[in-house]
Amino acid sequence: MQRCPSVRLSNGLSIPALGLGTSHDGGYSHEAVVYALEECGIRHIDTAKRYGCEEALARSLSESTVPREDIWITTKLWPGDYGYQSAKEACRASAARLGVEYLDLYLMHWPDSMIPGRSKREVRAETWRALEDLYDEGLCHAIGVSNFLIPHLKELKEDCGVVPHVNQVEFHPFQQPWELVEFCRKEGIASEGYSPLAKGQALSHPLILELAKKHSRSASQICIRWSIQNGVITIPKSTKAQRISENCQVFGFQLEDKDMAALRALHDGRHVSWDPTHVE
């Protein structure tokens, strides 16, 4: 992989603009992670407690010859662990499962909560205060949220002291939440996108295939390059070495302005993952 650019966070840290996503239900491969780190130059791995692969990732990291300090590791707090004390305990447990002394980025996974009888806003604020303390302690080098929309972010800003460093949301040619991305930009929150290939739906779209032919690239490379040129960190998932290698070859070409505009016109609002618009 040619040198991967990074995105500078509001606290001065730099996160690689391209990472390898993981997931549950067959979305993790030990061999794939080691290959991504050692052969493809990937230095950013995204996981979550929800995916159930933190311990497996620890084995992959230890087998890799890449030093820990060179790898950006993100994991996420599941809503079942929201609340001040439980969030802190869950974070420490994730770090232990990953076999690391610190997390580069820790995210609240979802704006809803699983604590009955309390307002969602109150639970989010209490949980975020736990992340702020973990950040102050140095266990988390950066903290953020995932699937949060503008109202959730506005409330968090009013209720807490540290503005999230990152907001990770679904982002691909069919789901382009520009209002949210622009809001985050103004607030100093980096935008990170998951499902950049729309779970494969983007790979057969005629326009994307046309651009792939024009640039002598693959459809997946067009989508990933589009995210990066939009300033959105992206974390495509794959467990296949060939796909991972292909997804990394996105720094040797540039999409033209007219290409970017054409892809922007593909937005139709579809979600291929969770839709947080119903969460108050």
List, for residues 157-172, the tens digit of each pLDDT value. Answer: 999 999 999 999 999 9
Structure tokens at 223: 């989508």
Where do we find the tokens 């992670």? Answer: 33
Per-residue pLDDT of 237-264, as tens digits, reads 999 999 999 999 999 999 999 999 999 9
The superfamily in CATH containing domain 16-267 is NADP-dependent oxidoreductase domain (3.20.20.100)
At 2 the pLDDT is 72
Among 42-46, 117-121, 133-137, the least confident range:
117-121
Binding annotation for substrate: 109
The amino acid occupying position 219 is A
Percent of the chain whose predicted confidence (pLDDT) is above 90: 96
- What size, in residues, is the chain? 280
Instruction: Report the 10 Å Cβ neighbour count for 123.
Output: 20
Query: 204-248 pLDDT, tens per residue?
Result: 999 999 999 999 999 999 999 999 999 999 999 999 999 999 999
Q: Quickly count helices (H) and strands (E) in the chain.
A: 10, 10
- The answer to whether 51 is a known catalytic residue is yes
What is residue 114's predicted lDDT score, i.e. its pLDDT?
Answer: 84
What does the DSSP 8-state code read for residue 147? S
Annotated catalytic residue within 28, 35, 51, 194? 51
Q: What are 217-222's contacts with CB under 8 Å, separation 24+?
A: 217/249, 217/253, 218/246, 220/246, 220/247, 221/246, 221/247, 221/249, 221/250, 222/255, 222/263
Per DSSP, helices labelled H in the chain are: 30-38, 54-63, 84-98, 120-137, 150-159, 178-187, 206-215, 219-229, 241-248, 257-264
Give the start-to-end residue ranges of the domains of the chain: 16-267
DSSP β-ladder status, 166-170 and 72-77: unpaired
Query: With 90 as the cut, is the pLDDT of residue 58 above it?
Result: yes
- The residue behind tokens 């609240």 is 108
1 pLDDT band, cuts 50/70/90, is low
CA distances to 64, 145, 152, 209, 242 from 190, in Å: 28, 10, 16, 29, 29
- Rounded Cα–Cα distance for residues 92 and 136 (Å): 14
- Average model confidence (pLDDT) across the chain: 96
Q: What is the pLDDT of residues 19-34, one digit of tens each?
A: 999 998 878 999 999 9
Q: Which of 2-6, 89-93, 201-205, 233-237 has the lowest mean pLDDT?
A: 2-6
Span 48-65, average pLDDT = 96
Q: Which residues are annotated as a binding site?
A: 109
